[in-house]
Structure 1
Amino acid sequence: MKFIAYNVRDDEIPFIEKWGKDHQIEVAYTTTTLTPETIEEAKGYDGISGLQTIAYTKELFIAFRKLGIKYLALRNVGVDNLDLQAAADNGVKITNVPAYSPESIAEFAVTMALFLSRKVGYMQQQLRQKQEFHFSPDFMGRLISEQTVGIVGTGRIGQHAIRLFKGLGAKVIAYDKYPIKDTHGEFHYTTSFQDLVRQSDIISLHMPATPDNYHEFNHETFELMKNTALFINTARGSIVDTADLIFALQSGEIAGAGIDTIENESADLQDSRSTKQVTDADVIKLSMMPNVLITPHSAFHTTRSVMNMVNISMDHLKAMVEGKPVSDIVD
């Protein structure tokens, strides 16, 4: 039994090596992204561990079949970049890691909300552009406890975000197409998505990407929001129409945004060794705005998350090869 992990970052290597040693299983790793061309490196291996935002295509799963590889264990949650029908057609079983550390992402969403609420970006801009650093009434912020936070998506991550915002004294409301039955009195659901959008001072996204919510946050949605509202996306880039978000920020339809994930993320984004300059015009434009905090899909990135992502993914591969049941099968 031996496995190979693709698109491995430097911070994952110690955990991969430890898992292999602890289980006495050969685990190779490469920094390359998994594609129909690079999968040739996996020849002779029993399973692949993957982590990437670019697509797992039909051609890739055909290559799986040709190499006789039947197992793909993701080291992340999202499955919107998978051709699941092609995987099934070519006999490839897939697992993901639905809960590597919900706390990590929830904490990052709150961090972004605090950064934007206290207008830290405006202070940084003053220092960068004017080489000045002094008190300004333009930097006056708002307490989280003065605001209504709208959580869109009340799964594991959303529920942790609710607890953290509640701990800071916020009023929390939520919307989910599939609401949980018992909220323990921590929050209440709004009657509609539009109702949440209108009421919230801060909106934080915590749902998976699906065909139904593609560009759910668009010009019409931003128009519904308060012009003092802050928008946080640590979920998936496809949920937000980037051009409409930029317009909303520039025109004053909303007051600020925390963006950890954006549409059409490149493979370089997750390459820990990449030294390429950012060329995406939208990313550059957003990064220049003092009312925006943009980060490279790093909300998950804590020691706990990385360890769990590696260990759970490898555990899944081992179980599948041994014919044991796995709870996190993607179908």
Structure 2
Amino acid sequence: MRIMMFGTREDELNAANEWAARNDIEVVFDKGPLTMDNADVLKDFDGVTTSQTAPFDDAIYERLRELGIKQVAQRSAGFDMFNLDKATENGLIISNVPSYSPNAIAEYAVMAAMNIIRNTKMIQNKLKQHDFTWNKAIISKEMRSMTVAIIGTGRIGTITGRILHGFGAKVIGYDLYPNEEAKTFLTYTETLEEAIAQADLISIHMPLTKENHHMFNAELFAKMKKGVFIVNTARGGIVDTKALIDALNSGQVTAVALDTYENEATYFPKDFSDKKVEDEMLLHLIDREDVFISQHIAFYTETAVMNLVEGGLDSVKQVIEMGTCDNRVN
């Protein structure tokens, strides 16, 4: 059995090589993404795993079928880069890794929330200017005085809520499918609007779907408590960035932490230190003191990377040997 591992990063190599040795399977590495330009290399392979960020060309699904490929195993929880209808039409099983380290993302969400609540970016900027004063601009709230709304109470949202409850915050939640475990420390609201209207801090933990694209838009921001804080470690497309910037400018939103950005695929996780960033909206977010933004890195721990590599490769092996896999999404 031969597996091609596209989008391989240096930090994934140890886990991939150990998995290959343990399973007596050849894994070949390619640093680049899977595209129409390099798809033909797969004629000599049995399976493929990717770490894709940008959407696939719709033509690639038919080409993979022609090459005898039966599956694509994505090494992430998100799978919105795939056209699942096209994949299914061409007999391709798409899989993800739904749970690789929910603690990693939850811990990052809490860290990001504390950064915006405590005005860390502004404080650091003042220090760089040698302004060591205490003043109203940098005074902050305490977490225990806040009501926190967890939007999406799956694994990550539940852990995030539990940690914030430990800080003494009042935690409420909204999810179409309430989680019994989460009910031990939060109270569910009947609607999203009810949750966001009460919240001093909103933490988003939903997968991106066709139905919730730009769910957080101008209309929803207007229904929030004035001066709210928002954290998004889920998917960038859930938030209408232009409407978010307007809400920041008006004071409706005090500050936001973004580990995802709706137009991130061109830039995250790539090195643009010697290139020009053309996305003016991204540059604007980076420059703002009331925005804490990072390059979709909340998951990035040693444990998570190992679990993502092994989860992706396990799915490839399952499809080749059994015709399906535990984590298929179509």
1:40-79 residue pairs with structure 2 within 5 A? Answer: 40-79=40-79
Q: Is 1:16 the counterpart of 2:30 in the alignment?
A: no
Query: Which amino acid counterpart does residue 282 of structure 1 have in structure 2?
Result: M
SS in 1 for 2:268: helix
After superposition, give the CA deviation of every residue in 1:160-214 in whole Å (9 maximum; x if it has no partner): 1111111111110001122234544211111211111110010000011111111
User: How many residues end up aligned between the 2 structures?
Assistant: 330
TM-score relative to the length of structure 2: 0.95
Query: Which amino acid counterpart does residue 93 of structure 1 have in structure 2?
Result: I
TM-score relative to the length of structure 1: 0.95
Q: How has the CA–CA distance of structure 1 residues 241 and 82 changed in structure 2, closer, same or farther, with 3 Å as cutoff?
A: same
1:80-91 residue pairs with structure 2 within 5 A? Answer: 80-91=80-91
CA distance, structure 2, for counterparts of residue 58 and residue 218 of structure 1: 29
Contact 1:65 1:91 in 2 (8 A): yes
How far the C-alpha of 1:308 sits from its partner, in A, is: 0.1
Query: Which amino acid counterpart does residue 283 of structure 2 have in structure 1?
Result: I
SS in 1 for 2:99: coil
Contact 1:9 1:271 in 2 (8 A): no
Q: Partner residue of 2:149?
A: 150
Q: How has the CA–CA distance of structure 1 residues 73 and 272 changed in structure 2, closer, same or farther, with 3 Å as cutoff?
A: farther
Q: CA RMSD in A?
A: 1.7
Q: Partner residue of 1:310?
A: 309
How far the C-alpha of 1:324 sits from its partner, in A, is: 6.3
How far the C-alpha of 1:273 sits from its partner, in A, is: 9.2
CA distance, structure 2, for counterparts of residue 127 and residue 164 of structure 1: 30
Query: Which amino acid counterpart does residue 140 of structure 1 have in structure 2?
Result: I
Q: Partner residue of 1:212?
A: 211
Q: How has the CA–CA distance of structure 1 residues 49 and 174 changed in structure 2, closer, same or farther, with 3 Å as cutoff?
A: same
CA distance, structure 2, for counterparts of residue 6 and residue 273 of structure 1: 21
SS in 2 for 1:180: coil
How far the C-alpha of 1:79 sits from its partner, in A, is: 1.7
CA distance, structure 2, for counterparts of residue 162 and residue 277 of structure 1: 39
Q: Partner residue of 2:229?
A: 230
Q: Partner residue of 1:160?
A: 159
Q: Percent identity?
A: 37
Q: Partner residue of 2:184?
A: 185
CA distance, structure 1, for counterparts of residue 179 and residue 322 of structure 2: 33
Query: Which amino acid counterpart does residue 123 of structure 2 have in structure 1?
Result: M
Q: Mean alpha-carbon deviation: is it higher for 228-237 or for 134-143?
A: 134-143
Contact 2:237 2:261 in 1 (8 A): yes
Q: Which runs of 5 or more residues in structure 2 are unaligned?
A: none
SS in 2 for 1:212: coil
Q: Partner residue of 1:287?
A: 286
CA distance, structure 2, for counterparts of residue 174 and residue 24 of structure 1: 45
